[in-house]
Chain A
Amino acid sequence: MHGDIDDDELIEQRWREGLHALGEPGDTTGVAVRVTARVRDRRRRHVLTATIAVFIAAAAGIAGAVVASRSGSGRARVQAGAPPSASSTTASPLDAEAQPALAAWSRFPVDASPRPLILLQDTELLGTRGFPDNLSKDAYDGGSFVPPAQFPASPPAAGGYPVVSAQDALVMLKAEASPGPPPATSLTITDVRLDTTTFPTDRGARTVPAWLFSFRGVPDAAAVAAVAPPARFVAPGLAELALRRRSTPNLLGVGSLGGTSVSADGRDLTVTFVGGPPGTGPCSKQYGGHATESRTAVAIAIEPTGTPRPEPSVACSMVGYRRQVVIHLDTPLGERVLIDAIGGDPLDVAP
C-alpha cells in the first residue's frame, strides 16, 4: 500500500495524463483540431481587417453591398480625376431635414466685422511624442486632471482677441473627454501659460491666443484656444443634432467631406468628398448635392442618386474615390456659415 504522499503524486499524475488525453486528443484528432484553430485564426484576423475596412467604408459613406477583397486590404485609396457632377437647389425633402441645423446657426452675426471665428477644433495636444504609459493617456482622454494650486492671471486681450481665463480653458479641455468609465489616475498640471497656436476655422487656419497646459511626465503640452466671445461664435446644441445623423444613413457623413471651395462670384460650391467609384459599372455610385439656405448659414447634403446596387449579385471593392459635386446657390455664400445639413457641423470653405 502506498503512503499518502505517493498516493497523492500518483493521483495528480493521473489527473494530468487524463486531462491532456481529453483536452488534446491523440495524433490525428489533435492535428485536425490544431488546423481548425489555425483556420479560425486566419478567418478571425480577416474579420478584424474587414471590420476596420467596413469602418472606413462607413466613414466614406459608401452604402450598399460591400465585401472586403480577398487580400484583406481595407485602406481607402483616393483616386483623383473624376469629373464633378452638378446639381442645384431645387425643392427637396432635405430642405425640411436641414431646418434644425440651420436653426442652430440662426444667431450667427453674419454682418459683424470682424467676422467671429468659427473654430473647427479648439483643443489640441501639441507634438507627437505621446504619453509615457497607457494610464496617463487614459487620464488625458478621460479629462482627469489635477489642477495647479494657482492659475496665472489672464490679460483682458491678446493678439487682438478677448481671452478666456485659464480656469475656463481647463473646463474646455475636460469637456473634450471621451465617454467611458473614469480614468484610474489623473494627470498633474505642472504649468499653465498663455501662448499662440494655429487652429482650423471654417475659413482656413488661424493663429490665435491659446492656453498651454503641461502635465507631469507628458512631453508635449495641450493647447486650448483662448479666444472669447464675441470674437468667437459657438453654435448651441450641435451635440444633440449629431444624434440625428443615424436617421439619415444614406447621406454622406460630415467626416467624408474633404473640403469645399467657392467660386469667385460666391454662387458655386465645389464639394470634395470620398465616395464610391464613378462610371457606369455595377459598383459605380452617382452623387447629388443639395443646399438649403438661410440668412446666416448654408446647409449642404450629399446623397447617392440613381438606382441602388443589385443585391447580392455584386461584390465591390472597398476603395474610396475622391469625388466632387458642384452645388449652385441662389445667393452668394458671403459671410454665411457652410454647415452639414443634418448634424449642423461647420464645414471648411476655401476661396
Chain B
Amino acid sequence: MDAGAFEDFYADGYARLVAAIGLVTGSREEAQDAVDEALARAWGLARGNRAPDELGAWVRVVALNVARGGLRRRQVDACARSRIAATADAPSAAGPASAAVDVARALARLTRRQREVVVLRYFCDLPVDDIAGELDVTPGSVKTLLHRARATLSDVLADREEVNRAR
C-alpha cells in the first residue's frame, strides 16, 4: 500500500476538495465529513491491497456520493439550498465585488446535480468528459446541465440589474 498517496492528498488536495464539496452542500462541516468518510473508505481498501489507482479522483467521486446522502437526498438538498441562500444573504459575503453573492444565489437555485457539475467544471476545472465519467452520465448531459446553470446565473444577474435600476 502506498501511504505516500494519502500524505500527498492531505497536503495538496484535501482542503480544496472540502471547499468543492462545501460549494455543493453549502456546509463546510458536512463537506469535511464526506471527504473524511471517503478517505476512510479508501484507506480501508488500501489496507486490503485494493487501493484506488487515482486517489484524488476516487475520493472526489465517493465524497460526492456520501454528501448526496442516499435516502435523505431530498431533505439534504433542501437543506443545502437554504444554507447556500443564507450565504448569499449574509452581510459578510456582500461586498463591492459581488461575484460571490451572485454565484451563491445562483447555486441556491440549482439542483443538486447541476451544482455538482458546475463545481466540478468551474471550481475543480475538470474537462466535460471527466465530469461525465465521475458522475456516470453522458458528456451531453453534462453540457446540458452546464447550459442550465449558466442560464440560471444569467437570470440572477438580470434580476440584480433590474433591482439596481429600480432603486
Contacts A8-B150, A14-B103; A19 near B118 (Cβ below 8 A): yes
B163 CB to closest chain A CB (Å) equals: 17
Contacts A15-B122, A34-B15; A22 near B49 (Cβ below 8 A): no
Is there contact, CB below 8 Å, between B100 and A21? yes
Q: Is B153 an interface residue (CB 8 A)?
A: yes
Is there contact, CB below 8 Å, between A11 and B150? yes
Contacts A12-B122, A134-B49, A141-B49; A19 near B14 (Cβ below 8 A): no
CA distance A33 to B32 in the complex (A): 12
A residues neighboring B (CB under 8 Å): 7-8, 11-12, 14-25, 33-34, 37, 40-41, 44-45, 48, 134, 137-138, 141, 180
B residues neighboring A (CB under 8 Å): 3, 7, 10-11, 14-16, 18-20, 22-23, 48-51, 87, 93, 97, 99-104, 106-107, 118-119, 121-123, 149-150, 153-154, 157
Can you name 17 extra interface pairs (CB under 8 A) apart from A19-B123, A21-B100, A138-B50? A11-B153, A14-B153, A16-B122, A18-B99, A18-B101, A19-B119, A20-B123, A22-B93, A22-B104, A23-B16, A23-B20, A23-B23, A33-B15, A44-B10, A45-B10, A134-B50, A141-B49
Leading 4 A-B pairs by shortest Cβ distance:
A18-B103, A21-B100, A23-B19, A37-B15
CA distance A311 to B21 in the complex (A): 41
**Closest chain B residue, CB of each to CB of A7:** B154
| A/B interface sample: 18 pairs, CB < 8 A | A17-B99, A18-B99, A18-B106, A18-B153, A19-B118, A19-B119, A20-B123, A21-B99, A21-B103, A22-B104, A22-B107, A23-B23, A33-B19, A37-B18, A40-B14, A41-B10, A134-B50, A180-B48
Residues of the B chain whose Cβ atoms lie less than 8 Å from the Cβ of A134: 49-51
Interface SS of chain B: helix, strand, loop or mixed? helix
CA distance A44 to B15 in the complex (A): 13
Residues of the B chain whose Cβ atoms lie less than 8 Å from the Cβ of A11: 150, 153-154, 157
Residues of the B chain whose Cβ atoms lie less than 8 Å from the Cβ of A45: 7, 10
Task: Identify the interface centre among A12, A22, A34: most chain B CB within 10 Å of its CB.
Answer: A22
Task: Identify the interface centre among B16, B103, B154: most chain A CB within 10 Å of its CB.
Answer: B103
- Of B10, B11, B15, B122, which one neighbours A19 at CB under 8 angstroms? B122
A48 CB to closest chain B CB (Å) equals: 8
Task: Identify the interface centre among B10, B15, B150: most chain A CB within 10 Å of its CB.
Answer: B15
**Closest chain A residue, CB of each to CB of B50:** A138
A25 CB to closest chain B CB (Å) equals: 8
CA distance A11 to B157 in the complex (A): 9
CA distance A19 to B122 in the complex (A): 7
Is there contact, CB below 8 Å, between B99 and A138? no
A146 CB to closest chain B CB (Å) equals: 20
CA distance A40 to B51 in the complex (A): 23
CA distance A22 to B48 in the complex (A): 38
**Closest chain A residue, CB of each to CB of B156:** A14
A250 CB to closest chain B CB (Å) equals: 27
Residues of the B chain whose Cβ atoms lie less than 8 Å from the Cβ of A21: 97, 99-100, 103
Contacts A16-B122, A19-B122, A22-B23; A137 near B150 (Cβ below 8 A): no
Is there contact, CB below 8 Å, between B150 and A15? yes
Is there contact, CB below 8 Å, between A15 and B118? yes
CA distance A16 to B121 in the complex (A): 9
Is there contact, CB below 8 Å, between B19 and A18? no
CA distance A137 to B50 in the complex (A): 10
Residues of the B chain whose Cβ atoms lie less than 8 Å from the Cβ of A48: 3
Residues of the B chain whose Cβ atoms lie less than 8 Å from the Cβ of A141: 49
